Amino acid sequence: MSVEEKISKIIIDQLGVSAEEVKPEASFVEDLGADSLDLTELIMAMEEEFGIEIDDDDAQKILKVQDAIAYIKNKQ
Protein backbone atom coordinates (compact mmCIF):
# COMPACT_ATOMS: atom_id res chain seq x y z
CA MET A 1 0.00 0.00 0.00
CA SER A 2 1.23 3.53 -0.75
CA VAL A 3 1.55 6.19 1.95
CA GLU A 4 -1.58 7.84 0.58
CA GLU A 5 -3.55 4.60 0.79
CA LYS A 6 -2.36 3.82 4.29
CA ILE A 7 -3.23 7.31 5.55
CA SER A 8 -6.57 7.19 3.84
CA LYS A 9 -7.37 3.87 5.53
CA ILE A 10 -6.44 5.26 8.96
CA ILE A 11 -8.66 8.31 8.45
CA ILE A 12 -11.59 6.18 7.30
CA ASP A 13 -11.20 3.88 10.30
CA GLN A 14 -10.71 6.60 12.89
CA LEU A 15 -13.21 9.17 11.72
CA GLY A 16 -15.85 6.90 10.27
CA VAL A 17 -15.93 8.74 6.95
CA SER A 18 -16.20 7.34 3.42
CA ALA A 19 -13.26 6.96 1.03
CA GLU A 20 -14.71 9.62 -1.28
CA GLU A 21 -14.57 12.21 1.51
CA VAL A 22 -10.84 11.73 2.10
CA LYS A 23 -9.59 14.21 -0.49
CA PRO A 24 -6.10 15.75 -0.22
CA GLU A 25 -7.51 19.21 0.51
CA ALA A 26 -10.01 17.98 3.12
CA SER A 27 -9.63 19.52 6.56
CA PHE A 28 -9.83 17.03 9.44
CA VAL A 29 -11.94 19.34 11.60
CA GLU A 30 -14.02 21.23 9.09
CA ASP A 31 -14.63 18.61 6.42
CA LEU A 32 -14.18 15.29 8.20
CA GLY A 33 -15.82 16.16 11.54
CA ALA A 34 -12.86 15.45 13.82
CA ASP A 35 -12.71 16.86 17.35
CA SER A 36 -9.55 17.31 19.46
CA LEU A 37 -9.71 13.76 20.79
CA ASP A 38 -10.08 12.40 17.27
CA LEU A 39 -7.02 14.36 16.14
CA THR A 40 -4.92 13.02 19.01
CA GLU A 41 -5.92 9.48 18.16
CA LEU A 42 -5.35 10.06 14.45
CA ILE A 43 -1.79 11.19 15.10
CA MET A 44 -1.21 8.18 17.34
CA ALA A 45 -2.51 5.83 14.68
CA MET A 46 -0.14 7.34 12.10
CA GLU A 47 2.80 7.08 14.50
CA GLU A 48 2.01 3.43 15.00
CA GLU A 49 1.45 2.64 11.32
CA PHE A 50 4.66 4.29 10.14
CA GLY A 51 6.81 3.61 13.21
CA ILE A 52 7.63 7.27 13.80
CA GLU A 53 7.21 9.89 16.53
CA ILE A 54 5.28 13.06 15.68
CA ASP A 55 5.96 15.78 18.24
CA ASP A 56 3.17 18.07 19.39
CA ASP A 57 4.38 21.13 17.48
CA ASP A 58 4.42 19.18 14.23
CA ALA A 59 1.09 17.55 14.99
CA GLN A 60 -0.58 20.94 15.33
CA LYS A 61 0.41 21.77 11.74
CA ILE A 62 -1.26 18.68 10.33
CA LEU A 63 -4.66 20.15 9.52
CA LYS A 64 -5.52 18.60 6.17
CA VAL A 65 -5.13 15.18 4.58
CA GLN A 66 -2.37 16.50 2.29
CA ASP A 67 -0.45 17.83 5.35
CA ALA A 68 -0.36 14.34 6.79
CA ILE A 69 0.78 12.78 3.52
CA ALA A 70 3.54 15.37 3.06
CA TYR A 71 4.70 15.02 6.66
CA ILE A 72 4.93 11.23 6.53
CA LYS A 73 6.69 11.23 3.14
CA ASN A 74 9.19 13.77 4.43
CA LYS A 75 9.89 11.65 7.51
CA GLN A 76 10.51 8.47 5.56
Active site residue ranges:
35
10 vs 15 by CB, closer to other proteins = 15
15-20, Cβ contacts within 8 angstroms, sequence gap of 24 or more: 15/42
Minimum CB separation of residue 32 from other proteins in Å reads: 10
For binding to other proteins (CB under 8 A), which residues are involved? Answer: 15-17, 33, 37, 40-41, 44, 48
Residue closer to other proteins by CB (options 24, 33) is 33
CA distance 40 to 62: 11
**Largest CA-CA distance found in the chain, in angstroms, rounded:** 29
